[in-house]
């Protein structure tokens, strides 16, 4: 039989037991109707799930059969049958709720990890770091259900014995007060009130828990922001304590679930890696700009071509000779510029694996 038929059968047997009880105990009609209608919400939930109703119907049916055969104990046994049916319905309803909660948690985890995966791409592909970070915080905030997400960066002006930090980024849920522009959170000193945070975060440890369990010096600051529970993790860049990211819960102080703790750790790792990558790109850009400045200052004409014979680099001296901008010559085949090919004395063949050849042209 299908699960719907089994559930209906179970309710029918339960209704028979209740009716039998009502007849023997001479219960009022209203009480009888209440007893019949009370299990319906539970059983309606069960109809949409794969349940084991047939297993519950068998013992109830057996009890009722015995009740019909043994007249003296009919009331007691009928009452036991009704109680058993209700108890089993409650058990099944609890199982349904647990299953739905587990499914909802799994779906939320999927949304969180999907949001984190997408947001991580923004950190690298966004035109600037701020845009990428704001996209990450927004995606995670909407998927996680937290009230506030923020990032603090340790200040360069802070000294070793008096370190400070400043809030750089923030996302807040609708109705939650933002603190991004709060002057009190700029150059905020770790010491003395938050010395515990600095020690733990510098060791790579997280700060987790209800605000009510924190030291009084910390509670004074955090309660002013309506925070009831907090999850904070350090951000490391090139093995250096760069700052920290935090999740705030402003509605209650329930414990943080494991999946959000894992998401926070992944978030801080990705942000730290993105910062390191951006810093490396900035250094390379500065080095490239420095090299360009030096090459443009050289009075000799310099050109660099790749293995396909296309120009990869042309200095200002050479470009001025042909009255063009250096960027207009990039990517053009050397064969299209016979004056360059004929004027340049070839260097010895480059070592294996080298993708370019440099030609120095006399001024």
132-136, 224-228, 237-241, 353-357: least confident range: 353-357
User: Confidence class of residue 329 from pLDDT cuts 50, 70 and 90?
Assistant: confident
Per residue in 131-153, pLDDT (tens digit) is 888 888 888 888 788 999 999 99
User: Confidence class of residue 274 from pLDDT cuts 50, 70 and 90?
Assistant: confident
Mean pLDDT, range 336-340, rounded to an integer: 68
Q: pLDDT at residue 218 above 50?
A: yes
Q: pLDDT at residue 73 above 80?
A: no
Task: Give bridge partners of residue 97 from the DSSP assignment.
Answer: none
Mean pLDDT, range 311-339, rounded to an integer: 80
Residue recorded with tokens 């993790």? 233
User: Confidence class of residue 206 from pLDDT cuts 50, 70 and 90?
Assistant: very high
Q: What are the domain boundaries of the chain? A: 3-102, 126-277, 298-361
The domains spanning 126-277 and 298-361 adopt the same CATH topology: yes
Alpha carbon separation from 346 to 63, 233, 302, 358, 361 (Å, rounded): 103, 57, 12, 8, 10
State pTM to two decimals: 0.59
Task: Give bridge partners of residue 305 from the DSSP assignment.
Answer: 311, 357
- The predicted structure's pLDDT at residue 131: 82
- The predicted structure's pLDDT at residue 351: 47
Sign for the pseudo-dihedral over CA of 249, 251, 256, 262: negative
User: Across the chain, where does the E strand assignment appear?
Assistant: 148-154, 164-172, 188-189, 207-210, 229-237, 240-249, 301-306, 311-314, 356-361
Domain 298-361 has CATH 3.40.50.300: no
Mean pLDDT, range 325-353, rounded to an integer: 63
CATH topology of domain 126-277: Beta-Lactamase (3.30.450)
Q: Token pair for residue 284?
A: 């390379």
38-47, 86-95, 136-145: least confident range: 38-47
Higher local confidence (pLDDT), 227 or 35: 227
* Torsion angle (degrees, nearest 10) of CA 219, 220, 225, 230: -10
Q: pLDDT at residue 306 above 70?
A: yes
User: Are 169 and 197 contacting, i.e. CB atoms less than 8 angstroms apart?
Assistant: no
Per residue in 50-63, pLDDT (tens digit) is 444 544 554 455 55
- The predicted structure's pLDDT at residue 158: 56
């Amino acid at each position: 039989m299908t699960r719907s038929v089994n559930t209906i059968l179970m309710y029918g047997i339960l209704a028979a037991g209740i009716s039998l009880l009502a007849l023997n105990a001479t219960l009022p009609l209203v009480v009888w109707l209440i007893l019949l209608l009370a299990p319906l919400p539970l059983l309606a939930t069960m109809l949409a799930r794969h349940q084991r109703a047939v297993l519950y119907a068998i013992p109830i049916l057996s009890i009722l059969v015995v009740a019909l055969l043994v007249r003296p104990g009919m009331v007691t046994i009928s009452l036991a049958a009704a109680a058993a049916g209700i108890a089993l319905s409650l058990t099944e309803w609890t199982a349904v709720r647990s299953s739905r909660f587990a499914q909802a948690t799994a779906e939320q985890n999927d949304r969180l990890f999907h949001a984190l995966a997408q947001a991580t791409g923004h950190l690298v592909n966004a035109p600037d770091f701020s845009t990428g970070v704001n996209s990450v915080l927004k995606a995670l905030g909407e998927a996680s259900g937290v009230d506030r997400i923020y990032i603090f960066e340790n200040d360069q002006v802070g000294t070793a014995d008096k370190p400070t930090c400043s809030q750089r980024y923030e996302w807040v849920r609708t109705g939650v007060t933002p603190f991004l522009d709060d002057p009190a959170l700029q150059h905020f000193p770790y010491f003395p009130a938050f010395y515990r945070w600095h020690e733990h975060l510098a060791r790579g440890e997280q700060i987790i828990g209800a605000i009510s369990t924190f030291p009084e010096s910390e509670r004074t600051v955090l309660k002013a922001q309506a925070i009831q529970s907090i999850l904070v993790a350090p951000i490391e860049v090139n093995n250096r304590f760069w700052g920290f990211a935090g999740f705030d819960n402003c509605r209650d102080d329930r414990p943080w679930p494991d999946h959000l703790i894992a998401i926070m750790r992944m978030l801080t790792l990705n942000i730290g890696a993105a910062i390191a990558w951006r810093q490396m790109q900035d250094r390379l850009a500065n080095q490239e700009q420095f090299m360009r400045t030096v090459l443009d200052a050289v009075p000799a004409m310099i050109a660099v071509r790749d293995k396909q014979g296309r120009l990869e680099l042309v200095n200002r001296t050479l470009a001025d000779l042909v009255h063009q901008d250096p960027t207009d010559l990039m990517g053009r085949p050397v064969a299209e510029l016979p004056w360059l090919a004929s004027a340049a004395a070839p260097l010895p063949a480059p070592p294996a694996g080298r993708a370019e050849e440099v030609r120095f042209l006399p001024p």
